[in-house]
Each structure stands twice: as structure tokens, then as C-alpha cells.
Structure 1
Amino acid sequence: MKQGVLYAVAAYLMWGTLPLYWKVFEKMGAWEILAHRIFWSAVFVVVLLYVTKKLKELKRAVTDKKTWVLLFLSSLIISGNWFIFIWAVNNGHVLETSLGYYMNPLISVLFGVLFLRERLRAGQWIAIALAGIGVAVMTINYGKMPWVAIMLALTFALYGLAKKTVRLDSMLSLAWETLFVAPIALAYLFTLQVNGQETVFSLEGWQIILLTLAGVATALPLYWFAQAAKILPLSTVGFIQYLSPTISLFIAVFLFHEPFTKTHWLSFGFIWSALIVFTLSSLRSRSQSVSASPNLALKKRAQ
């Protein structure tokens, strides 16, 4: 349990600071950045598998059609999530990405209930309702749905559900997810090169080096997340994710100077209230489980 929490915290800390990383390449198009991200992620994972002597296990690790399909869907879902996030960061919507990742844990909780038969307490349902009100407030006041936030929340919750379903070593799973879409990314980069539309070579040397490290910046938190998702309940993983949007929120407001209006205060206020209610309810549930365990042990001994 402790190991799973450490993996989750490390992943979400790194994800929270990613807006600073992608902002370095804001002169590039989002599709081009995504293609580089996918390619260098595939390279990094393959090298990592070779170093850890797991490369030979890659092909024989997947033996059934269902796992193939789930891995392929995972690769498409996470690629879509990456594109939305990159586009949002470089078009001044970091605040909305923060809202999306505040929403995501609650959607993860719902998915856990609907698909994995996880059970929630009344307080946790209240938390979900409060967060829903927060999203509704922003939608009504701005007259449009916060699509960036909603799509980020949905895609990452779906990805988390798929990772929970696939019974495969985390590193091997991550390798297949990047390898599935790597040929598409390479074809896109080649097309840009042929048509003279690439912008990567207009970057400075240090920026190009950072771009090649996109694989590390992508694969490490994904690997940590995969490890956490296999150890912890989906609802717990979703809860820890609040760390990431909090960091992104501070970056958006204090570094990128995006406006934080009264509507934002009201909307985020409901979501933060949901976080407090969810935390208290989860702690109470855990406390009751711990106190019940000794009593159960005594009964078994008596029998």
C-alpha cells in the first residue's frame, strides 16, 4: 500500500509540472510536439526494457486478443489525452487543464463503481455531487462547456480503467502502448519533413535536447502511474491525483498569469469542498476498517 502511494505521488508531482515543460515548445504545433513525444517515449521504453533484460518478454507477454485490444485502446486514449493537454498549455488554457484534472478523480471513482464494483460511502457520493455543481457553475457563467477540462478528465479516467483491467507487467504494458502509435507518429514527422513544414529545427540546441527527453518526461510518470494503478484501488489513485491540478493551478495563475475570476473561485470552491468531504469520508471508512480487523481476528481465534 505504501509503495503504491509513493508511485502515485511521484507520478502526479511530475505531471503537475509538465505545463512548464511543454511551454518551452510553444512555437511548435501541438501535433508535431505530440509526434515527437510518442516517438521518444517509444525509444526510451525500448532502451529501458533492454537494460532491464525484459525486451525478450515483450512479444510473449500478450497472449490473448482481449489484452491486445485493451492495449491498443489505451494507446489511442492516452495519445488523445496528450494532444489535448499540449494544445491547452500552448494556447493559454492551463487553468482549464487544472479543472479537468480536479474532475478526473471523481470520474475515476464513478468508473470504479460502475465497472469494477467498488463501493462508496454516502460522503463520497456527496463529494461527487459537489464537484458536479462546480462544473455546472462554470458552464452556466461562461455560457459554454469547458470542453478541454471534460475531455482531459474523461480520457484519463478511461486510461486508468484500462490500466486496471489489463493484467500485464507495467513496463511491458507501457511499451506496447507507445509502440502501437509510434509508426503513426514517425509517418507524420516524415510527412512534415518532406513538405518542409517541420519546426523542430528552428528550436535552439537546448530546446532540441529537452524535446528528445520527452520520452523520459512521459514514460516515467506513466510507469509510476501504472504501478500505482495495479496496487491501489482506482478510487485511491484518483484521489491522489488532486496533487497534480493544484500544482498546475498555481503555475497557471502565478507564472502564466491566466485570469482567475469570481466564477473560477466559486467553481473551484465547490470542487475543493468536494475534496475535503471525500477525504474525511475516506479517512472515516479506513478507520472503521482498521478497528474492525482486530475484532475479526479475535473472533477467528475464539472459533
Structure 2
Amino acid sequence: MTAQAFSADTDNGARRGFVLALAAYFLWGLLPFFMKAVAHLPLAEVVAHRIIWSVPIAAAVLVWLGRTADFKAALRSPRMLGMAALTAALITINWSIYVWAIAVDRTVETALGYYINPLVSVSVGAIFLGERLSRLQVVAVGLATVAVVVLTIDSGTLPWVSLALAFSFAAYGFFRKTLPIGPSQGFLLEVLILSIPALGYILYLAATGQGHFATGAWQDTALLLCCGPITAVPLLMFAFGAKLLRLSTIGIMQYIAPTMVFLIAVLIFHEPFGMTQAIAFALIWAALAIYSWPMLTALAGASRGSASGTTSGTTH
């Protein structure tokens, strides 16, 4: 393969990755609309259906990719199953808090939580993995801490929804790294483990006449069926897109979803957003700008290098 052909393949892969990741973040950004639609249903039932209907989608993708051998090997490993059970528990906590927060009109807090998340992940890496923080990262984490303090002083309590979302997802990412299995295999393993209690709970609801699936309004059944695609599709799209993109690109794109969620919460759901919240968000946005600056410069440098390489390739 010539250098020019290799460059073209790389650019095509990056474009595919960008489209997949962008679509995933866009779908995540629109997720509050769906969560509002299911807000009248019990939280546990919604989460159970998110799990159950994700299983066939994740399994179909794995079969289509021809990666069932790795998955079968993971099923035979007690250590792998134990780690997957831990990550599955963490992501369930994250899902549950998110669904509940939107149902009770605390969507702004969910956006703040996912803005804080990358800064929490950096801190977790420094504390548990011995990763050294740069000066810019230290400043960014400091500003995020000040924002949390401002919100705490104003309300008299910690912004626990935001912190719980940020820390549960950071912990999920931390332990997910220790799971030596691909993203599609790992996701299927997690939802398969979770499907045991989830299916038991759904059957219990059906037996006691408390369930909403296929027993009440057809709209409720349709919404519960959609829980699977709503959960699995963007997650799998992101997993495949991220493999084709630079880490710096993903680092910048991760703010798309919480920005959409924030705008939906304030402009469409009309949730309260006073001066204190504005100050806290301004601090967080400043922290994210400082944190993202090295990634932006790296991305700009890579783009210039790619353009230069493409020009020299066509010249020869």
C-alpha cells in the first residue's frame, strides 16, 4: 500500500469514527426527552427494561462482528465475570440516578455531573493509578472544586446528583479498563449479568399485576421496548467510533451531550437556573476550557500535519 493510499484509508476511518461518535453524543444529548416520556413509570421497571432489551441488540452486534469466541472465553473466567459484575453494578447506579433526576426535574444537575466527569476521571487516575497531573489539570480540578463548594454553600447541601453521576461513571471507566475484553463483548457481558435480576423483577411485576409491559396502555409497552435501543445503540456507536479517532478528538467531543442536556433543561424543560448556578457553570466551563486546551492544540497540530502530508503525497 502506498503512503497516499494509507493516508486516504486513515482519513476515511477517521471520518467514519467522527460520524459514529457524533451520532452517539447527539443521541445521548436527546436522551432527556425519552426519560421525560417514561417519567410516569417506576424507576426500577424502566432500568430493568433498559437492561433486558439491550441484550438481544448487543448479542446481534457481537454475532455480526464474529467476536463470539472472546465472549465465550469471558463466560468461563470467574475473574472476568466478577469484574464485569462490578462494572455492571456501577453503570446501573449511574443509569438509575440519571433516570430519577430527569423524572424529578433535576436535569440541570445531570448536565453538571457529566461536565465534571472528565475532571473526576483525571483525579481518580492521579490518586489510584499514580498518574501525574499537569499544572493546567490541577487548575481545572481546583476550579471544579470551587464550583461544587459554591453550590454547596448556596443550597446547604452537596450537589449529590451531579457528584454521584460523575463519580459513578468515573469509577465505571476506571474498573472497565481492567476488564481485558472489547467494548461490544464487555457491554454484552454486563447486560447479560444484569439481565438475571432484571428479568426476575419484571416477572415479579407481571405476576403481581404491577407491571406496565403488555398489560397497560400500548404506549407504555412501546416505551419500555424502546429502552433497549435507546441504551444500546449510542453506546455501541460510540465504542466503534472511538476506536477510529484520536483521544484528543474524543476528549473535545465529550462535551456535546452535556451541553445539549443543559440547553434542553433550561430552554425547554424550564428548570430553575439562578445566579449561583450560573457562577458554578461558569467555573466548570472555565475548568473544561483549561483542561481541553492541550487536546485542542494537539488536534490542531495533527490536522496541520495531516494536511501537509496529504499535499506532499499528491505532489509526488
- TM-score w.r.t. length of structure 2: 0.81
Aligned to 1:104: 117
Whether contact under 8 Å (1:109, 1:234) holds in the other structure is no
What corresponds to 1:135 in structure 2? 148
Task: Report what 2:139 is aligned to.
Answer: 126
Instruction: Check 1:163–1:8 CA distance in 2 against 1; reply closer, same or farther (3 A cut).
Output: farther
Number of the residue aligned with 1:168: 181
Aligned partner of 1:193 among 206, 212, 222: 206
Question: Which of 268, 280, 287 is matched with 1:255 structurally?
Answer: 268
Are the counterparts in 2 of residues 23 and 90 from structure 1 also a CA contact under 8 Å? yes
Aligned to 2:195: 182
After superposing the two structures, state which structure 1 stretch, 213-222 or 244-253, moved more. 213-222
Letter in 2 for 1:247: M
**Cα pair 1:42 1:175 within 8 Å, conserved:** yes
Distance 2:112 2:216 in 1: 31
Q: Describe the SS at the equivalent of 1:103.
A: helix
Q: CA deviation at 1:154?
A: 0.7
Partner SS state of residue 123, structure 1: helix
Report if aligned partners of 1:105, 1:242 keep a CA contact under 8 Å in 2: no
Measured after TM superposition, the shift of residue 115 of structure 1 is 3.9
Displacement of 1:22: 1.4
Runs (4+) of structure 1 moved beyond 6 Å? 228-236, 285-291
* Contact preservation (8 Å) 1:160, 1:229: no
Quote how far apart the aligned CAs of 1:279 are: 2.2
SS in 1 for 2:258: helix
Query: After superposition, what is the alpha-carbon deviation per residue over 1:106-155, rounded to whole angstroms, capped at 9, x for unaligned?
Result: 11122233344544321121111111111111111011111111111111
Matched, 1:43 2:56: yes
Percent sequence identity is 37
- Give the direction of change, closer, same or farther, for the CA distance of 1:134–1:35 in structure 2 (3 Å limit): same
- Tell me how far apart the structure 2 counterparts of residues 265 and 152 of structure 1 sit (CA, whole Å): 20
Q: In 2 relative to 1, CA 288–246 (structure 1 residues): closer, same or farther, beyond 3 Å? A: closer
Amino acid paired to 1:28: L
Give the letter for the 1:157 counterpart: A
Q: 1:286 to 1:66 in 2, by over 3 A?
A: farther
User: Are the counterparts in 2 of residues 108 and 238 from structure 1 also a CA contact under 8 Å?
Assistant: no
Whether the 8 Å CA contact 2:115–2:284 is kept in 1: the answer is yes
Q: Is the 8 A contact 2:43 2:100 kept in 1?
A: yes
Note if 1:242 corresponds to 2:255. Answer: yes
Query: Residue 286 of structure 1: CA displacement?
Result: 6.6
CA separation of 1:195/1:206 partners in 2, compared to 1, >3 Å: closer, same or farther? Answer: closer
Structure 1: runs of 5 or more not aligned: 292-303
- In the alignment, does 2:47 pair up with 1:60? no
CA RMSD of aligned residues (A): 2.9
Distance 1:80 1:131 in 2: 23
Aligned AA (2:187): L
Counterpart AA for 2:287: A
Query: Contact between 2:27 and 2:234, CA under 8 Å: does it hold in 1?
Result: yes
Tell me the amino acid that sits aligned with residue 24 of structure 2: A
Correspondence for 1:86 among 84, 94, 99: 99
Structure 1 residues 192 and 62, CA gap change in structure 2 (3 angstroms)? closer
Whether 2:209 is the aligned partner of 1:211: answer: no
Asked whether the equivalents of residues 121 and 281 of structure 1 are also in contact (C-alpha less than 8 Å), the reply is no
Opposite residue 199 of structure 2, the aligned amino acid is L
Residue 217 and residue 140 in structure 1: after superposition, are their counterparts in 2 closer, same or farther (change >3 A)? same
Is residue 75–residue 81 contact of structure 2 (8 Å, CA) maintained in 1? Answer: yes
Distance 1:236 1:149, change over 3 A: farther
**TM superposition shift of 1:181:** 0.7
For residue 105 of structure 2, give the secondary structure of its aligned residue in structure 1.
Answer: coil
DSSP 3-state at the match of 1:165: coil
Preserved contact between residue 28 and residue 200 of structure 1 (Cα < 8 Å)? no
What is the match of residue 269 of structure 1?
282
Q: Distance in 2 between matches of 1:232 and 1:114?
A: 27
Query: Separation in 1 of the partners of 2:109 and 2:216?
Result: 27
**1:258, CA displacement in angstroms?**
0.5
Question: Which residue of the partner structure matches residue 157 of structure 1?
Answer: 170
Q: Where does residue 17 of structure 1 map in the other structure?
A: 30
